[in-house]
Amino acid sequence: MHLFYTPILHEQTVILPEEESKHAIKVLRLVKGNFVNLVDGSGGFYKATIEQDNPKKCVLRIVETVKQFGYRPFHIHVAVAPTKNIDRIEWFLEKATEIGVNQISFLLCERSERKQVNLDRLEKVVVSAMKQSVKAYKPVLTDIIPFKEFIKNIQPDNTYIAHLEEHDRTPLHRINLRDSACVLIGPEGDFSPAEIKLAYEKNIKPITLGNSRLRTETAALVACHTLNLLYEMKIA
């Protein structure tokens, strides 16, 4: 299956972005009359035929449309402090997109070693994983934001903080899920006691991801996978 990404599809005739056009014509050697598939990142899945096989602007004509392709009646949000080694957070983005996630936010915490991210580069990782796993919904990426600011705007009823302090914590797989869930994952040095205290004051609930001490990106992926399983069992 040849699958391409192009956002905001409203017309029957579509011009692929130059990078996607080059891949279609120069790499895959597709020609006029060949059929391809498109996703728009908002749930649209399209079948199209190549009208002009130009490697700079490949022109397609949509012949079949499926709306809300792969729609899931729940919302998974992972807010994570990006790791010092950005390759590790890119790995998480790739795998979380393949498994299924609606939104990923980046947190700037007291113990964060990375204070900024290249959102354009990370968007490309997500788009590639979305196409590879044949998904029509692209996860929303939110640029890095201070932890204190982030928790001001969350819904505490469906937000959970995973930390390593010796507090009473509920295993994530035992929580009573609502239609959406947000899990907060701290940096390599964990959330600070002050940040945990702030979360508690906001009525964010503490959780544990198991007995093992996990790397940041592993913890974020475990949270994503666990939430997917819980929701799938809930709607089964």
143 in Cβ contact with 107 (< 8 Å): no
What is the mean pLDDT for each group of 10 consecutive residues in the chain (236 residues)? 83 89 93 95 95 94 94 96 97 98 98 96 97 96 97 94 92 92 96 97 96 94 97 83
Residues of the chain with CATH 3.40.1280.10: 75-235
pLDDT at 53 (0 to 100): 95
The amino acid at residue 85 is N
Report the alpha-carbon distance of residue 92 to residue 222 in Å, rounded: 10
pLDDT at 74 (0 to 100): 95
CATH level 3 topology of 75-235: Alpha/beta knot (3.40.1280)
Question: Model's pTM, two decimal places?
Answer: 0.93
pLDDT at 10 (0 to 100): 75
Structure tokens belonging to residue 93: 């983005």
pLDDT at 236 (0 to 100): 65
**CATH (one of 2.60.40.10, 1.20.1440.230, 2.40.240.20, 1.20.120.1460) for 3-66:** 2.40.240.20
Report the largest interatomic distance among the alpha carbons of the chain, rounded to a whole angstrom.
Answer: 63
